[in-house]
Amino acid sequence: MQIDEVSKLIAKRRSIKPATMDADREISHELWQKLFEAANWAPNHRLTEPWRFTVFAGDARKEVGEALQVAYKEATPESEFQEIKYEKMAKNPFMAHAVVAIVMERDPKESVPEVEEVAAVASAVQNLHLAASSVGLGVFWSSPPATYAESFANFLGLKEGSRCLGLLYVGWPKEGTTWPTRKGSDAMAKVVFK
């Protein structure tokens, strides 16, 4: 593959809003496997492979919605609590075909700094997202404060030191949806050569 082809795929990757996803359209097990294989090739220090994913599809999406509601209550001061947001939390997971919890599982030996483990998980998500984009499958990374709450970590059964880094909404775009575009910015303005 030439660099131009890789660059094209990278530039094509977009976040697809869950509201534009066809929640009923199946994602084959074969495709899920390809997505997680792509994730699994992410760079990671000392090969700790800290990424973990839990896929909630079908009725299991209800559990995520309920856990988000509990976590929202936990993470939101009473004065800021909004009933509308609370109700939406239960419905949101049903907009996508599946919701995938992104987890950084801490290596018990703590052989590398935590920031490196988080970076490795983000790389894994990027790989997965690129693979999904290549076949036109929509992905949206969502990280409301509720996903960082202790009750949400307990819901996911996280081990000591592990962290949830948000949720991926995954689904095929509804028929007629146009793939979003993004205005590019000046890449070289963020680079210094010395």
Ligand X SMILES: Cc1cc2nc3c(=O)[nH]c(=O)nc-3n(C[C@H](O)[C@H](O)[C@H](O)COP(=O)(O)O)c2cc1C
The smaller minimum CB distance to ligand X, of residues 33 and 136, is found at: 136
* Nearest approach, Cβ of residue 37 and ligand X (Å): 21
Chain residues binding ligand X by CB under 6 A are 14-15, 141-144, 166, 182
* Nearest approach, Cβ of residue 194 and ligand X (Å): 28
* Nearest approach, Cβ of residue 73 and ligand X (Å): 18
The smaller minimum CB distance to ligand X, of residues 32 and 141, is found at: 141
The smaller minimum CB distance to ligand X, of residues 112 and 125, is found at: 125
Nearest CA to 148 out of 84, 88, 67, 83 is that of 67
* Rounded Cα distance, 103 and 139, in Å: 16
The smaller minimum CB distance to ligand X, of residues 50 and 166, is found at: 166
* Nearest approach, Cβ of residue 16 and ligand X (Å): 8
Nearest CA to 156 out of 47, 85, 7, 56 is that of 56
DSSP string, 84-122: HHHHHHHHGGGGSSEEEEEEEPPPTT--S-HHHHHHHHH
The smaller minimum CB distance to ligand X, of residues 109 and 183, is found at: 183
Inter-residue contact 165 to 143 (CB < 8 Å): yes
Give the CA distances from residue 177 to residues 22, 66, 94, 138, 180, in Å, rounded to whole numbers and listed in that order.
Answer: 10, 29, 18, 11, 9
* Nearest approach, Cβ of residue 50 and ligand X (Å): 15
Burial class of residue 7, CB neighbours in 10 A (0-12, 13-18, 19+): exposed
